[in-house]
């Protein structure tokens, strides 16, 4: 089911969204200051390309104060917009019973969109 879900996801917008995150991350990586944020954007793009069959987990190792600062900057600059986008798409998809599995995937991506530093894809 996860393979079929990912194929349908890619056809109906997942590919464009994922590539947008990846290309945006590559642009952010042009500057030295943007590299940490670019890498997180690329990680979010990879998660968006194939959300079925993957889990987002919080890493056990603590990044400390720098990780907190980067997460706060991410939320202020990018995260809240991406999270609201996933929430809106999930609400639209949840209207029908057929769209519930895809709505669940959007809900699953919200924590990664808000706090990417310290999260991993598994």
- pLDDT tens for each residue of 44-82: 999 999 899 888 888 877 678 889 999 999 999 989 999
Give the Cα separation of 40 and 63 in Å (integer).
Answer: 14
Q: In terms of residue numbers, what domain contains 96?
A: 2-121
Backbone angles phi, psi at 61, to 5 degrees: -70, 140
pLDDT at residue 60, rounded to an integer:
75
- pLDDT tens for each residue of 2-44: 899 899 999 988 899 999 999 999 999 999 999 999 999 999 9
Long-range contacts, 100-104 (Cβ 8 Å, 24+): 101/5, 101/52, 102/5, 102/8, 102/9, 102/12
Query: How many distinct structural domains can be found in the chain?
Result: 1
């Amino acid at each position: 089911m996860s393979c079929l879900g990912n194929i349908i996801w890619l056809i109906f917008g997942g590919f464009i969204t994922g590539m947008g995150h990846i290309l945006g991350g590559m642009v952010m990586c042009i500057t030295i200051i943007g590299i940490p944020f670019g890498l997180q954007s690329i990680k979010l793009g990879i998660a968006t390309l194939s959300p079925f069959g993957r889990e987002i987990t919080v890493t056990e190792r603590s990044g400390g104060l720098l990780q907190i600062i980067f997460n706060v900057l991410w939320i202020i600059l990018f995260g809240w917009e991406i999270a609201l986008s996933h929430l809106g798409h999930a609400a639209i998809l949840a209207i029908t019973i057929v769209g519930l599995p895809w709505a669940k995937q959007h809900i699953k991506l919200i924590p990664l969109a808000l706090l990417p530093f310290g999260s991993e894809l598994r």
